[in-house]
Chain A
Amino acid sequence: MSLLKVVDLHTSYGKIKALRGISLEVNEGEIISLIGSNGAGKSTLLGSITGIVSPASGKVLFEGKDITNNRPNEIVRKGISISLEGRGILPRLTVEENLRVGAYSISNKNEIKAAMEEMYQMFPRLAQRKKQLAGTMSGGEQQMLAIARALMSKPKLLLLDEPSLGLAPNLVKQIFQMIKDINQKGISILLIEQNATMALRIANRAYVLENGIVKLSGTTEHLLNHSGVKKAYLGEVR
Protein backbone atom coordinates (compact mmCIF):
# COMPACT_ATOMS: atom_id res chain seq x y z
CA MET A 1 0.00 0.00 0.00
CA SER A 2 1.31 3.43 -0.71
CA LEU A 3 2.22 5.35 2.37
CA LEU A 4 2.61 8.73 0.70
CA LYS A 5 1.08 9.76 -2.53
CA VAL A 6 1.61 13.10 -4.24
CA VAL A 7 -0.77 13.89 -7.08
CA ASP A 8 -0.15 16.64 -9.63
CA LEU A 9 1.28 19.12 -7.16
CA HIS A 10 1.81 22.75 -8.15
CA THR A 11 3.58 25.24 -5.87
CA SER A 12 4.70 28.80 -6.52
CA TYR A 13 6.62 31.50 -4.71
CA GLY A 14 4.92 34.59 -6.01
CA LYS A 15 5.70 34.49 -9.70
CA ILE A 16 8.25 31.71 -9.53
CA LYS A 17 6.67 28.36 -10.27
CA ALA A 18 8.78 25.94 -8.25
CA LEU A 19 6.65 22.84 -8.75
CA ARG A 20 4.71 22.34 -11.92
CA GLY A 21 2.75 19.15 -11.57
CA ILE A 22 4.58 16.58 -9.51
CA SER A 23 3.23 13.11 -8.89
CA LEU A 24 5.07 10.48 -6.90
CA GLU A 25 4.57 7.69 -4.47
CA VAL A 26 6.35 6.19 -1.50
CA ASN A 27 5.31 2.70 -0.51
CA GLU A 28 5.57 1.26 2.94
CA GLY A 29 9.09 0.08 3.66
CA GLU A 30 10.69 1.79 0.69
CA ILE A 31 13.63 4.12 0.37
CA ILE A 32 12.94 6.61 -2.40
CA SER A 33 15.58 9.00 -3.66
CA LEU A 34 14.91 12.33 -5.20
CA ILE A 35 17.68 13.87 -7.26
CA GLY A 36 17.95 16.98 -9.35
CA SER A 37 20.19 20.00 -9.66
CA ASN A 38 20.07 23.16 -7.53
CA GLY A 39 16.75 24.87 -7.73
CA ALA A 40 14.93 21.90 -9.25
CA GLY A 41 12.28 22.09 -6.57
CA LYS A 42 13.25 19.23 -4.30
CA SER A 43 13.12 21.15 -1.04
CA THR A 44 9.94 22.83 -2.17
CA LEU A 45 8.38 19.43 -2.63
CA LEU A 46 9.25 18.44 0.92
CA GLY A 47 7.93 21.79 2.09
CA SER A 48 4.66 21.18 0.30
CA ILE A 49 4.31 17.73 1.79
CA THR A 50 4.95 18.95 5.34
CA GLY A 51 2.72 21.98 5.00
CA ILE A 52 5.28 24.76 5.35
CA VAL A 53 4.47 26.02 1.89
CA SER A 54 0.95 25.69 0.59
CA PRO A 55 0.54 24.19 -2.83
CA ALA A 56 -1.53 26.01 -5.42
CA SER A 57 -3.17 22.82 -6.59
CA GLY A 58 -2.79 19.08 -6.34
CA LYS A 59 -3.02 16.63 -3.49
CA VAL A 60 -0.89 15.01 -0.86
CA LEU A 61 -2.20 11.76 0.59
CA PHE A 62 -0.71 10.04 3.62
CA GLU A 63 -1.95 6.56 4.44
CA GLY A 64 -4.77 7.26 2.06
CA LYS A 65 -5.90 10.42 3.88
CA ASP A 66 -5.76 13.83 2.30
CA ILE A 67 -3.28 15.99 4.22
CA THR A 68 -2.95 18.79 1.69
CA ASN A 69 -2.92 22.16 3.42
CA ASN A 70 -2.94 20.64 6.88
CA ARG A 71 -0.78 22.53 9.32
CA PRO A 72 2.77 21.18 9.74
CA ASN A 73 2.22 20.20 13.34
CA GLU A 74 -0.82 18.11 12.40
CA ILE A 75 1.09 16.42 9.62
CA VAL A 76 3.99 15.62 11.90
CA ARG A 77 1.68 14.04 14.40
CA LYS A 78 0.35 11.74 11.71
CA GLY A 79 3.81 10.21 11.45
CA ILE A 80 5.91 12.20 9.01
CA SER A 81 9.11 13.73 10.17
CA ILE A 82 11.73 15.80 8.44
CA SER A 83 15.38 16.68 8.64
CA LEU A 84 15.71 20.00 6.92
CA GLU A 85 18.11 21.30 4.38
CA GLY A 86 20.56 23.57 6.14
CA ARG A 87 19.89 21.68 9.35
CA GLY A 88 17.30 23.93 10.93
CA ILE A 89 18.48 23.24 14.42
CA LEU A 90 17.34 25.60 17.17
CA PRO A 91 20.59 27.43 17.90
CA ARG A 92 19.87 28.76 21.38
CA LEU A 93 18.60 25.49 22.74
CA THR A 94 20.99 22.85 23.93
CA VAL A 95 21.57 19.63 22.06
CA GLU A 96 19.40 17.76 24.50
CA GLU A 97 16.59 20.31 24.29
CA ASN A 98 16.66 20.07 20.52
CA LEU A 99 16.12 16.36 20.83
CA ARG A 100 13.32 16.90 23.29
CA VAL A 101 11.62 19.21 20.84
CA GLY A 102 11.96 16.47 18.25
CA ALA A 103 9.98 14.22 20.54
CA TYR A 104 7.31 16.84 21.14
CA SER A 105 4.51 14.71 19.78
CA ILE A 106 5.36 11.85 22.12
CA SER A 107 3.88 12.11 25.56
CA ASN A 108 5.30 8.99 27.19
CA LYS A 109 8.37 10.06 29.17
CA ASN A 110 10.03 6.64 29.14
CA GLU A 111 9.65 6.41 25.42
CA ILE A 112 11.36 9.77 25.03
CA LYS A 113 14.15 8.67 27.28
CA ALA A 114 14.68 5.48 25.36
CA ALA A 115 14.68 7.30 22.04
CA MET A 116 17.19 9.78 23.36
CA GLU A 117 19.52 6.99 24.52
CA GLU A 118 19.24 5.42 21.13
CA MET A 119 20.27 8.65 19.41
CA TYR A 120 23.19 9.14 21.74
CA GLN A 121 24.37 5.69 20.85
CA MET A 122 24.01 6.39 17.19
CA PHE A 123 25.83 9.75 17.46
CA PRO A 124 28.35 9.62 20.30
CA ARG A 125 29.41 13.20 19.53
CA LEU A 126 25.97 14.38 20.55
CA ALA A 127 26.20 12.46 23.79
CA GLN A 128 29.43 14.31 24.62
CA ARG A 129 27.80 17.65 23.95
CA LYS A 130 24.36 17.31 25.55
CA LYS A 131 24.55 20.69 27.20
CA GLN A 132 26.24 22.64 24.40
CA LEU A 133 24.13 25.22 22.65
CA ALA A 134 23.29 23.75 19.30
CA GLY A 135 24.29 26.95 17.52
CA THR A 136 27.91 26.62 18.56
CA MET A 137 28.29 23.11 17.16
CA SER A 138 30.29 22.66 14.00
CA GLY A 139 28.49 22.33 10.71
CA GLY A 140 28.69 18.57 10.63
CA GLU A 141 27.71 18.22 14.26
CA GLN A 142 24.60 20.24 13.57
CA GLN A 143 23.73 17.95 10.70
CA MET A 144 23.92 14.95 13.01
CA LEU A 145 21.65 16.68 15.43
CA ALA A 146 19.12 17.44 12.72
CA ILE A 147 18.89 13.81 11.71
CA ALA A 148 18.73 12.58 15.27
CA ARG A 149 16.00 15.04 16.07
CA ALA A 150 13.92 13.89 13.12
CA LEU A 151 14.14 10.34 14.37
CA MET A 152 13.02 11.23 17.89
CA SER A 153 9.35 11.27 16.96
CA LYS A 154 9.33 7.65 15.73
CA PRO A 155 7.94 8.53 12.32
CA LYS A 156 6.43 6.19 9.79
CA LEU A 157 7.90 8.28 7.00
CA LEU A 158 11.18 10.12 7.27
CA LEU A 159 11.98 12.95 4.89
CA LEU A 160 15.69 13.71 4.62
CA ASP A 161 16.82 16.82 2.78
CA GLU A 162 20.49 16.51 1.93
CA PRO A 163 21.51 14.73 5.13
CA SER A 164 25.13 14.29 4.02
CA LEU A 165 25.66 18.01 3.43
CA GLY A 166 28.86 19.11 5.09
CA LEU A 167 29.62 15.75 6.62
CA ALA A 168 33.01 14.15 6.59
CA PRO A 169 33.35 11.14 4.29
CA ASN A 170 33.36 8.63 7.12
CA LEU A 171 30.20 10.14 8.49
CA VAL A 172 28.59 10.20 5.09
CA LYS A 173 29.13 6.50 4.91
CA GLN A 174 27.83 6.10 8.41
CA ILE A 175 24.75 8.15 7.61
CA PHE A 176 23.92 6.07 4.60
CA GLN A 177 24.40 2.95 6.64
CA MET A 178 22.12 4.41 9.22
CA ILE A 179 19.48 5.23 6.67
CA LYS A 180 19.49 1.61 5.70
CA ASP A 181 19.26 0.50 9.31
CA ILE A 182 16.42 2.83 10.01
CA ASN A 183 14.63 1.60 6.96
CA GLN A 184 15.11 -1.94 8.12
CA LYS A 185 13.23 -1.05 11.29
CA GLY A 186 10.25 -0.36 9.09
CA ILE A 187 10.50 3.35 8.55
CA SER A 188 9.96 4.49 4.98
CA ILE A 189 12.30 7.12 3.68
CA LEU A 190 12.17 9.87 1.10
CA LEU A 191 15.72 11.05 0.53
CA ILE A 192 17.03 14.11 -1.23
CA GLU A 193 20.69 13.94 -2.07
CA GLN A 194 23.24 15.80 -4.12
CA ASN A 195 25.43 12.78 -3.78
CA ALA A 196 23.43 11.06 -6.51
CA THR A 197 25.59 7.96 -6.76
CA MET A 198 25.11 7.09 -3.12
CA ALA A 199 21.48 8.09 -3.24
CA LEU A 200 20.78 5.82 -6.13
CA ARG A 201 22.68 2.94 -4.61
CA ILE A 202 20.79 3.01 -1.39
CA ALA A 203 17.27 3.49 -2.74
CA ASN A 204 14.68 1.13 -4.13
CA ARG A 205 13.36 3.60 -6.61
CA ALA A 206 14.16 7.18 -7.53
CA TYR A 207 12.72 10.25 -9.18
CA VAL A 208 14.69 12.86 -11.11
CA LEU A 209 13.39 16.38 -10.78
CA GLU A 210 14.11 19.15 -13.20
CA ASN A 211 12.56 22.58 -13.20
CA GLY A 212 9.66 21.55 -11.06
CA ILE A 213 8.60 18.43 -12.92
CA VAL A 214 9.50 14.74 -12.70
CA LYS A 215 11.83 14.20 -15.60
CA LEU A 216 12.51 10.55 -15.03
CA SER A 217 11.61 7.87 -12.58
CA GLY A 218 12.14 4.21 -12.09
CA THR A 219 14.19 1.62 -10.31
CA THR A 220 17.63 2.66 -9.24
CA GLU A 221 19.43 0.13 -11.46
CA HIS A 222 17.67 1.65 -14.39
CA LEU A 223 18.63 5.21 -13.47
CA LEU A 224 22.22 4.39 -12.57
CA ASN A 225 22.69 3.16 -16.09
CA HIS A 226 20.74 5.93 -17.76
CA SER A 227 23.11 7.99 -19.86
CA GLY A 228 21.38 11.30 -19.20
CA VAL A 229 21.49 10.78 -15.47
CA LYS A 230 25.11 9.75 -15.62
CA LYS A 231 26.07 12.86 -17.47
CA ALA A 232 24.03 15.37 -15.50
CA TYR A 233 24.27 14.10 -11.95
CA LEU A 234 26.89 11.46 -11.51
CA GLY A 235 29.83 13.30 -13.01
CA GLU A 236 32.65 11.60 -14.84
CA VAL A 237 34.87 10.92 -11.89
CA ARG A 238 34.21 7.87 -9.80
Chain B
Amino acid sequence: MEHFTGKFNLEELVYKYRYPLGAVFLLLLLGLPYLGLSQYVMRIIIMIGIYTMLALGLNILTGYTGLVSLGHSGFFAIGAYVTAILMLKLQIHFIPAAFIAMIITGICGLLLGLPTLRLTGTYLSIVTLGFAEIVKMIIMNWEPVTNGTLGLRNIPRPSFFGIDLTLANHGMYYFMLILLFLITFLCIAIKKSKLGRALHAIKENELAASMMGIYTARYKILAFILSAVITGLAGGYYATLVSYIDHNSFTFDVSILILSIVILGGMGTIRGMFFGSILLIVFPEIARPLMEWRFVVYGLVLIFMMRFRPQGLLGWRTTLPFQVPVNAQERQKRSGKHGISRS
Protein backbone atom coordinates (compact mmCIF):
# COMPACT_ATOMS: atom_id res chain seq x y z
CA MET B 1 0.00 0.00 0.00
CA GLU B 2 2.73 2.42 0.96
CA HIS B 3 4.49 2.02 -2.36
CA PHE B 4 1.26 2.52 -4.17
CA THR B 5 2.06 5.60 -6.17
CA GLY B 6 5.62 4.68 -6.94
CA LYS B 7 4.63 1.32 -8.30
CA PHE B 8 1.72 2.72 -10.16
CA ASN B 9 3.99 4.92 -12.21
CA LEU B 10 6.55 2.25 -12.75
CA GLU B 11 4.00 -0.32 -13.75
CA GLU B 12 2.33 2.02 -16.16
CA LEU B 13 5.66 3.03 -17.61
CA VAL B 14 6.73 -0.54 -18.12
CA TYR B 15 3.40 -1.34 -19.68
CA LYS B 16 3.60 1.61 -22.02
CA TYR B 17 7.03 0.67 -23.29
CA ARG B 18 6.53 -3.07 -23.08
CA TYR B 19 7.48 -3.74 -26.68
CA PRO B 20 10.78 -1.84 -26.77
CA LEU B 21 11.61 -3.08 -23.28
CA GLY B 22 10.79 -6.62 -24.29
CA ALA B 23 12.98 -6.33 -27.34
CA VAL B 24 15.90 -5.02 -25.30
CA PHE B 25 15.44 -7.79 -22.79
CA LEU B 26 15.30 -10.41 -25.51
CA LEU B 27 18.42 -9.06 -27.19
CA LEU B 28 20.18 -9.08 -23.86
CA LEU B 29 19.22 -12.69 -23.28
CA LEU B 30 20.31 -13.69 -26.76
CA GLY B 31 23.59 -11.82 -26.53
CA LEU B 32 24.42 -12.87 -22.99
CA PRO B 33 26.94 -15.56 -23.90
CA TYR B 34 28.96 -13.06 -25.91
CA LEU B 35 29.51 -10.69 -23.04
CA GLY B 36 32.60 -12.61 -22.02
CA LEU B 37 31.09 -14.18 -18.94
CA SER B 38 32.93 -17.12 -17.46
CA GLN B 39 31.51 -20.61 -17.65
CA TYR B 40 30.92 -20.40 -13.94
CA VAL B 41 28.65 -17.42 -14.40
CA MET B 42 26.94 -18.99 -17.41
CA ARG B 43 26.24 -22.07 -15.37
CA ILE B 44 24.61 -20.00 -12.67
CA ILE B 45 22.52 -18.26 -15.28
CA ILE B 46 21.38 -21.61 -16.60
CA MET B 47 20.52 -22.72 -13.08
CA ILE B 48 18.43 -19.60 -12.74
CA GLY B 49 16.66 -20.62 -15.93
CA ILE B 50 15.97 -24.10 -14.58
CA TYR B 51 14.63 -22.81 -11.31
CA THR B 52 12.48 -20.31 -13.13
CA MET B 53 10.91 -23.20 -15.03
CA LEU B 54 10.41 -25.08 -11.79
CA ALA B 55 8.87 -22.04 -10.14
CA LEU B 56 6.60 -21.43 -13.11
CA GLY B 57 5.47 -25.02 -12.80
CA LEU B 58 4.77 -24.85 -9.10
CA ASN B 59 3.16 -21.46 -9.59
CA ILE B 60 0.34 -23.04 -11.55
CA LEU B 61 -0.51 -25.16 -8.56
CA THR B 62 0.31 -22.86 -5.68
CA GLY B 63 0.08 -19.41 -7.19
CA TYR B 64 -2.89 -19.88 -9.48
CA THR B 65 -4.89 -22.56 -7.70
CA GLY B 66 -3.81 -22.08 -4.10
CA LEU B 67 -2.69 -25.65 -3.51
CA VAL B 68 0.57 -25.67 -1.59
CA SER B 69 2.94 -28.41 -2.64
CA LEU B 70 5.90 -29.31 -0.49
CA GLY B 71 6.89 -32.12 -2.79
CA HIS B 72 7.76 -30.73 -6.17
CA SER B 73 11.20 -32.22 -5.93
CA GLY B 74 9.34 -35.46 -6.60
CA PHE B 75 8.16 -34.37 -10.05
CA PHE B 76 11.55 -32.82 -10.68
CA ALA B 77 13.17 -36.15 -9.89
CA ILE B 78 10.79 -38.17 -12.02
CA GLY B 79 11.36 -35.88 -14.99
CA ALA B 80 15.11 -36.07 -14.58
CA TYR B 81 15.25 -39.82 -14.05
CA VAL B 82 12.88 -40.79 -16.82
CA THR B 83 14.71 -38.59 -19.30
CA ALA B 84 18.11 -39.81 -18.17
CA ILE B 85 17.15 -43.48 -18.16
CA LEU B 86 15.63 -43.29 -21.62
CA MET B 87 18.65 -41.49 -22.99
CA LEU B 88 21.17 -43.72 -21.25
CA LYS B 89 19.62 -47.13 -21.51
CA LEU B 90 17.59 -46.87 -24.68
CA GLN B 91 19.73 -44.29 -26.47
CA ILE B 92 16.70 -42.19 -27.21
CA HIS B 93 17.17 -38.61 -28.28
CA PHE B 94 16.50 -35.92 -25.69
CA ILE B 95 13.33 -34.59 -27.30
CA PRO B 96 11.30 -37.82 -27.31
CA ALA B 97 12.85 -38.79 -23.98
CA ALA B 98 11.79 -35.53 -22.39
CA PHE B 99 8.41 -35.88 -24.01
CA ILE B 100 7.87 -39.31 -22.49
CA ALA B 101 9.15 -37.95 -19.20
CA MET B 102 6.55 -35.22 -19.36
CA ILE B 103 3.81 -37.74 -20.00
CA ILE B 104 4.95 -39.83 -17.06
CA THR B 105 5.23 -36.86 -14.70
CA GLY B 106 1.82 -35.80 -15.94
CA ILE B 107 0.42 -39.20 -15.01
CA CYS B 108 2.08 -38.91 -11.61
CA GLY B 109 0.52 -35.47 -11.26
CA LEU B 110 -2.83 -37.05 -11.98
CA LEU B 111 -2.23 -39.85 -9.52
CA LEU B 112 -1.20 -37.44 -6.82
CA GLY B 113 -4.01 -35.08 -7.69
CA LEU B 114 -6.74 -37.69 -7.36
CA PRO B 115 -6.29 -38.60 -3.71
CA THR B 116 -5.64 -35.01 -2.75
CA LEU B 117 -8.91 -33.78 -4.21
CA ARG B 118 -10.71 -33.97 -0.95
CA LEU B 119 -7.79 -32.56 1.01
CA THR B 120 -7.05 -28.99 1.81
CA GLY B 121 -4.29 -26.96 3.34
CA THR B 122 -2.03 -28.83 5.67
CA TYR B 123 -3.34 -32.21 4.66
CA LEU B 124 -2.55 -31.59 1.05
CA SER B 125 0.90 -30.23 1.80
CA ILE B 126 1.90 -33.23 3.85
CA VAL B 127 0.70 -35.61 1.18
CA THR B 128 2.78 -33.87 -1.46
CA LEU B 129 5.73 -33.96 0.90
CA GLY B 130 5.15 -37.66 1.39
CA PHE B 131 4.94 -38.17 -2.35
CA ALA B 132 8.41 -36.70 -2.79
CA GLU B 133 9.76 -38.94 -0.04
CA ILE B 134 8.25 -41.97 -1.69
CA VAL B 135 9.73 -41.01 -5.03
CA LYS B 136 13.10 -40.71 -3.33
CA MET B 137 12.70 -44.13 -1.78
CA ILE B 138 11.89 -45.66 -5.14
CA ILE B 139 14.94 -44.04 -6.65
CA MET B 140 17.13 -45.37 -3.89
CA ASN B 141 15.80 -48.90 -3.99
CA TRP B 142 14.86 -49.68 -7.56
CA GLU B 143 18.43 -50.42 -8.43
CA PRO B 144 18.08 -52.19 -11.78
CA VAL B 145 16.46 -49.10 -13.24
CA THR B 146 17.63 -46.13 -11.25
CA ASN B 147 20.99 -47.52 -10.24
CA GLY B 148 20.01 -46.93 -6.61
CA THR B 149 22.15 -44.71 -4.50
CA LEU B 150 24.93 -44.80 -7.06
CA GLY B 151 22.98 -42.48 -9.29
CA LEU B 152 23.07 -42.19 -13.03
CA ARG B 153 26.23 -40.98 -14.70
CA ASN B 154 27.27 -39.84 -18.13
CA ILE B 155 23.84 -38.67 -19.12
CA PRO B 156 24.37 -37.44 -22.65
CA ARG B 157 23.75 -33.89 -23.66
CA PRO B 158 20.97 -33.19 -26.15
CA SER B 159 22.31 -33.03 -29.68
CA PHE B 160 20.84 -31.48 -32.75
CA PHE B 161 22.08 -32.11 -36.30
CA GLY B 162 25.05 -33.95 -34.91
CA ILE B 163 26.11 -31.13 -32.66
CA ASP B 164 26.18 -31.81 -28.93
CA LEU B 165 24.90 -28.95 -26.89
CA THR B 166 27.40 -28.00 -24.23
CA LEU B 167 28.10 -25.19 -21.89
CA ALA B 168 31.12 -24.22 -23.92
CA ASN B 169 29.33 -23.84 -27.26
CA HIS B 170 26.42 -22.13 -25.48
CA GLY B 171 24.07 -24.72 -26.89
CA MET B 172 22.77 -25.59 -23.45
CA TYR B 173 22.12 -21.95 -22.74
CA TYR B 174 20.10 -21.32 -25.87
CA PHE B 175 18.25 -24.57 -25.44
CA MET B 176 17.31 -23.46 -21.94
CA LEU B 177 16.09 -20.15 -23.34
CA ILE B 178 13.83 -21.93 -25.79
CA LEU B 179 12.33 -24.17 -23.13
CA LEU B 180 11.91 -21.28 -20.77
CA PHE B 181 10.25 -19.23 -23.44
CA LEU B 182 7.80 -22.02 -24.26
CA ILE B 183 6.90 -22.58 -20.64
CA THR B 184 6.49 -18.89 -19.95
CA PHE B 185 4.23 -18.58 -22.95
CA LEU B 186 2.15 -21.50 -21.74
CA CYS B 187 1.82 -19.92 -18.30
CA ILE B 188 0.71 -16.61 -19.75
CA ALA B 189 -1.79 -18.37 -21.98
CA ILE B 190 -3.22 -20.26 -19.02
CA LYS B 191 -3.45 -17.13 -16.95
CA LYS B 192 -5.20 -15.13 -19.62
CA SER B 193 -7.81 -17.72 -20.48
CA LYS B 194 -10.86 -19.09 -18.81
CA LEU B 195 -8.68 -21.82 -17.36
CA GLY B 196 -6.62 -19.27 -15.47
CA ARG B 197 -9.71 -17.53 -14.20
CA ALA B 198 -11.25 -20.81 -13.14
CA LEU B 199 -8.12 -21.78 -11.21
CA HIS B 200 -8.00 -18.39 -9.56
CA ALA B 201 -11.67 -18.64 -8.63
CA ILE B 202 -11.02 -22.02 -7.04
CA LYS B 203 -8.22 -20.48 -5.02
CA GLU B 204 -10.42 -17.64 -3.86
CA ASN B 205 -13.56 -19.54 -2.98
CA GLU B 206 -14.04 -23.09 -4.05
CA LEU B 207 -17.73 -23.29 -3.28
CA ALA B 208 -18.53 -20.11 -5.15
CA ALA B 209 -16.42 -21.37 -8.04
CA SER B 210 -18.44 -24.55 -8.29
CA MET B 211 -21.58 -22.44 -8.23
CA MET B 212 -20.25 -20.77 -11.36
CA GLY B 213 -20.32 -24.12 -13.06
CA ILE B 214 -16.60 -24.77 -12.68
CA TYR B 215 -15.78 -28.43 -12.19
CA THR B 216 -13.39 -27.70 -9.39
CA ALA B 217 -12.13 -31.25 -9.07
CA ARG B 218 -11.20 -31.54 -12.73
CA TYR B 219 -9.52 -28.20 -12.75
CA LYS B 220 -7.51 -28.95 -9.67
CA ILE B 221 -6.32 -32.17 -11.24
CA LEU B 222 -5.52 -30.30 -14.41
CA ALA B 223 -3.47 -27.83 -12.41
CA PHE B 224 -1.62 -30.75 -10.85
CA ILE B 225 -0.93 -32.26 -14.24
CA LEU B 226 0.23 -29.04 -15.88
CA SER B 227 2.41 -28.22 -12.93
CA ALA B 228 3.92 -31.69 -12.91
CA VAL B 229 4.57 -31.70 -16.65
CA ILE B 230 6.44 -28.40 -16.58
CA THR B 231 8.43 -29.51 -13.56
CA GLY B 232 9.20 -32.79 -15.29
CA LEU B 233 10.51 -31.02 -18.36
CA ALA B 234 12.75 -28.87 -16.21
CA GLY B 235 13.95 -32.09 -14.59
CA GLY B 236 14.82 -33.63 -17.94
CA TYR B 237 16.81 -30.62 -18.94
CA TYR B 238 18.54 -30.55 -15.58
CA ALA B 239 19.62 -34.17 -15.93
CA THR B 240 21.36 -33.55 -19.22
CA LEU B 241 22.93 -30.39 -17.91
CA VAL B 242 24.58 -31.91 -14.87
CA SER B 243 25.02 -35.33 -16.52
CA TYR B 244 24.99 -37.01 -13.10
CA ILE B 245 21.93 -37.40 -10.91
CA ASP B 246 21.23 -39.25 -7.73
CA HIS B 247 18.61 -39.07 -5.02
CA ASN B 248 20.50 -36.32 -3.24
CA SER B 249 19.73 -33.91 -6.06
CA PHE B 250 16.04 -34.03 -5.16
CA THR B 251 15.69 -33.43 -1.48
CA PHE B 252 13.10 -31.66 0.61
CA ASP B 253 15.32 -28.58 0.47
CA VAL B 254 14.80 -28.44 -3.28
CA SER B 255 11.04 -28.44 -2.82
CA ILE B 256 11.38 -25.68 -0.30
CA LEU B 257 13.66 -23.69 -2.55
CA ILE B 258 11.13 -23.85 -5.39
CA LEU B 259 8.33 -22.86 -3.07
CA SER B 260 10.39 -20.02 -1.63
CA ILE B 261 11.04 -18.69 -5.11
CA VAL B 262 7.34 -18.74 -5.88
CA ILE B 263 6.46 -16.93 -2.69
CA LEU B 264 9.38 -14.53 -2.66
CA GLY B 265 8.82 -13.56 -6.25
CA GLY B 266 5.11 -13.14 -5.81
CA MET B 267 2.62 -15.97 -5.99
CA GLY B 268 0.52 -16.07 -9.11
CA THR B 269 2.72 -13.66 -11.04
CA ILE B 270 5.03 -14.64 -13.86
CA ARG B 271 7.53 -11.81 -13.46
CA GLY B 272 8.00 -12.90 -9.85
CA MET B 273 9.21 -16.37 -10.82
CA PHE B 274 12.07 -14.89 -12.82
CA PHE B 275 12.95 -12.42 -10.15
CA GLY B 276 12.63 -14.90 -7.30
CA SER B 277 14.91 -17.44 -8.89
CA ILE B 278 17.53 -14.85 -9.74
CA LEU B 279 17.49 -13.83 -6.11
CA LEU B 280 17.57 -17.23 -4.49
CA ILE B 281 20.06 -18.80 -6.89
CA VAL B 282 22.45 -15.89 -6.87
CA PHE B 283 22.22 -15.37 -3.13
CA PRO B 284 24.16 -18.49 -2.08
CA GLU B 285 26.83 -17.70 -4.67
CA ILE B 286 27.54 -14.21 -3.46
CA ALA B 287 27.06 -15.25 0.12
CA ARG B 288 29.88 -17.81 -0.06
CA PRO B 289 32.20 -15.76 2.12
CA LEU B 290 29.60 -15.85 4.86
CA MET B 291 30.26 -19.59 5.27
CA GLU B 292 28.09 -20.99 8.05
CA TRP B 293 26.28 -17.73 8.47
CA ARG B 294 24.89 -18.14 4.99
CA PHE B 295 22.04 -20.37 6.14
CA VAL B 296 21.27 -18.18 9.06
CA VAL B 297 21.09 -15.24 6.70
CA TYR B 298 18.96 -17.29 4.31
CA GLY B 299 16.59 -18.08 7.15
CA LEU B 300 16.47 -14.42 8.11
CA VAL B 301 15.76 -13.44 4.52
CA LEU B 302 12.76 -15.78 4.47
CA ILE B 303 11.48 -14.47 7.77
CA PHE B 304 11.90 -10.81 6.91
CA MET B 305 10.34 -11.29 3.51
CA MET B 306 7.26 -12.89 4.97
CA ARG B 307 7.06 -10.23 7.59
CA PHE B 308 7.45 -7.18 5.46
CA ARG B 309 6.33 -8.30 2.07
CA PRO B 310 4.25 -11.45 2.32
CA GLN B 311 2.79 -10.93 -1.14
CA GLY B 312 6.28 -11.35 -2.57
CA LEU B 313 8.70 -8.81 -3.94
CA LEU B 314 6.97 -8.46 -7.26
CA GLY B 315 3.51 -9.40 -6.09
CA TRP B 316 1.09 -6.56 -6.19
CA ARG B 317 -2.40 -5.97 -7.40
CA THR B 318 -2.09 -4.42 -10.76
CA THR B 319 -3.41 -0.91 -11.08
CA LEU B 320 -3.47 -0.98 -14.85
CA PRO B 321 -6.99 -0.67 -16.15
CA PHE B 322 -8.53 -3.89 -17.37
CA GLN B 323 -8.47 -4.01 -21.13
CA VAL B 324 -12.06 -3.81 -22.32
CA PRO B 325 -12.44 -3.90 -26.10
CA VAL B 326 -13.39 -0.52 -27.49
CA ASN B 327 -16.96 -0.92 -28.61
CA ALA B 328 -17.94 -2.02 -25.15
CA GLN B 329 -16.27 0.94 -23.55
CA GLU B 330 -18.39 3.20 -25.67
CA ARG B 331 -21.51 1.57 -24.49
CA GLN B 332 -20.21 1.95 -21.02
CA LYS B 333 -20.16 5.70 -21.41
CA ARG B 334 -23.90 5.96 -21.52
CA SER B 335 -24.14 5.12 -17.90
CA GLY B 336 -26.80 2.75 -16.64
CA LYS B 337 -30.27 4.12 -16.09
CA HIS B 338 -31.53 1.18 -14.22
CA GLY B 339 -29.31 -0.27 -11.64
CA ILE B 340 -29.11 0.62 -8.07
CA SER B 341 -26.52 3.25 -7.57
CA ARG B 342 -25.74 4.80 -4.29
CA SER B 343 -25.13 8.45 -3.82
Contact = CB atoms under 8 A, between A and B. Distances in A.
A15 B4 CA distance: 10
A-B interface, 3 closest residue pairs, ranked by CB to CB distance from nearest: A14-B1, A15-B1, A15-B4
B98 to A, nearest CB: 47
Interface string B1-42: 110100000000000000000000000000000000000000
A37 B343 CA distance: 10
Contacts, number: 6
A236 to B, nearest CB: 15
Contacts of A15: 1, 4
Contacts of B2: 14
6 contacts: A14-B1, A14-B2, A15-B1, A15-B4, A37-B342, A38-B342
Nearest to A15: B1
A14 B1 CA distance: 7
A interface majority secondary structure: loop
Interface of B: 1-2, 4, 342
Contacts of B342: 37-38
A237 to B, nearest CB: 15
A14 B317 CA distance: 15
Contacts of B1: 14-15
A194 to B, nearest CB: 13
Nearest to B5: A15
A140 to B, nearest CB: 21
Interface string A205-227: 00000000000000000000000
A38 B340 CA distance: 14
Contacts of A14: 1-2
Contacts of B4: 15
Nearest to B1: A14
A191 B4 CA distance: 36
A160 to B, nearest CB: 24
Nearest to A13: B1
Interface in A1-46: 14-15, 37-38
Interface in A75-126: none
A38 B1 CA distance: 23
Nearest to A38: B342
A15 B2 CA distance: 8
B2 to A, nearest CB: 8
Nearest to A14: B1
A38 B342 CA distance: 10
A37 B342 CA distance: 10
A37 B2 CA distance: 28
A41 B1 CA distance: 20
Contacts of A37: 342
A234 B194 CA distance: 44
Nearest to A39: B342
A144 to B, nearest CB: 25
A15 B8 CA distance: 15
A14 B4 CA distance: 11
A14 B5 CA distance: 13
Nearest to B2: A14
Interface in A135-187: none
Nearest to A16: B1
A145 to B, nearest CB: 23
A14 B342 CA distance: 24
